[in-house]
Chain A
Amino acid sequence: MAATHELIEVVTASGGSTAYLEFTSIPQTFTNLEVVWSLKLDSFNPTVATQHQMYWRVNGSSTSSVYPNMYRGMFYGTQTALWKYDSSTNYEIQVGLASANTPNMNCGLLNIYDYTSTAGTGKSIQGMNSCMQYDANSYDRTLLITSGNLNIAEAVTSLKLSAYNDEVIADDSNIRLYGINRSA
């Protein structure tokens, strides 16, 4: 198959009560996946960094060893803070998320490599995301680079995104799934 980059599916929050966004039945015909998002919370206004986290799970797995990950960047960071977090046991891939009281959505992308592999290791993840207002040092200010691996002996067939404490995701938030083929 020729090298390609195709939109597979878009999932959008609606109805004012979206607790999660999910891709199910991900086609197994690509080499990599790319998820692009535009997200904010519906009514929750976090005041500490950890409450801005969002959680990605694959294939419905909540096994901690599946999700070694780390991130670096500014997350409520100050000028002298080099925020760095890492974990080999968490089951989340942390990304920033805009608060309900910001006018802007948090945007970013996540690449999952070799997602069809059934080997226990080797499905690498890279992500980056940000959010800021042009005129304010706001709580939602975020600049993060994330990396991880999916240590699961299954191909990735579903991908689910939820917020801290299952807070409601604002309407019009969306995640977009693309398939990428590296072969020529």
Chain B
Amino acid sequence: MALEFIAEIDANSVDTENLVFSAIPQTYESLRLMGVGNTDYAVAQSMGGTFSLQFNEETTDSKHGFMRIAADYYQILLNIEGTYSDNTAECGSMSGTTSESGYYPATYIVDIYNYKGVAATGSVQYFARSTTATAANQYSHNAYYAGTYGNGTTPITSLQLKSALGNWMRYSKFSLYGRD
């Protein structure tokens, strides 16, 4: 089997700002992260919530970067052509708690490449898709992200999933897979 399940994490026991995959195996060539999630924060419309990655749980070394194309319920949003040298890299959004009554988790697929810190291939790269639709469409979005972390030749062994506004709501859940 080429695409193998590695681990699952969730926020079922307690709401939390960060969910972490640790001890990521170094036996694959690429990874796929799939999940559903929402924040317990009352975010604004137009992609007010932010789902970010922090590779190797690094929060201070200013080596994350990302870019984005997206549309929300109302319009095509201005491209983010590149946010550089940051401590997080965005890969998704969410609807929060003020959307039309009900629970509307966003769905995420993030493909992660060259995560093992090999000099010839360069730093880790990712491509992410994030989407959700709420009942009256007021908090819907569809977005694509590309990003990186300047790990150089340091392997990626852990991955922190951050809800930048509020905590991951109960039932948020992510699974990590490896491709050989």
Contact = CB atoms under 8 A, between A and B. Distances in A.
Interface in B134-166: 144-150
Nearest to A178: B2
B125 A107 contact: yes
Interface string B20-31: 000000000110
Nearest to A141: B82
A27 interface: no
B101 to A, nearest CB: 33
Interface stretch (A1-9, A16-24, A61-69): A1-9
Contact residues on B (Cβ < 8 Å of other chain), bracket: 35 or more
Contacts, number: 128
Interface stretch (B33-41, B44-52, B63-71, B167-175): B63-71
A158 B107 CA distance: 34
Contacts of A143: 67-69, 127, 144-146
A132 B125 contact: yes
Nearest to B126: A130
Given A78-B81, A134-B63, A137-B84, A172 B120 contact: yes
A107 B113 contact: yes
A87 B63 CA distance: 37
B144 A7 contact: no
Contacts of A129: 127
Q: For chain A, what secondary structure do more than half of its interface residues adopt (helix, strand, loop), or is it mixed?
A: strand
A129 B149 CA distance: 16
B114 interface: yes
Interface string A72-105: 1110011111100000000000000000001111
A106 to B, nearest CB: 8
Contact of A178 (B66, B114, B120, B179): B179
Interface in A124-169: 128-137, 141-143, 145
Contacts of A40: 122
Contacts of A134: 63-65, 84-85, 123, 148-150
B125 A4 contact: no
A138 to B, nearest CB: 9
B79 A109 contact: no
Interface string B108-124: 00010110001011110
A171 interface: yes
A148 to B, nearest CB: 17
A38 interface: yes
A150 B157 CA distance: 39
A81 B76 CA distance: 11
Nearest to A106: B125
Contact of A7 (B2, B66, B127, B149): B2
Contact of A81 (B79, B121, B145): B79
16 contacts: A38-B114, A72-B69, A79-B81, A80-B78, A81-B79, A82-B79, A105-B121, A107-B127, A133-B148, A133-B150, A134-B64, A134-B85, A134-B150, A135-B65, A136-B84, A143-B127
Given A74-B81, A104-B114, A105-B114, 8 more contacts: A5-B3, A38-B121, A74-B69, A105-B121, A105-B125, A128-B111, A137-B84, A143-B69
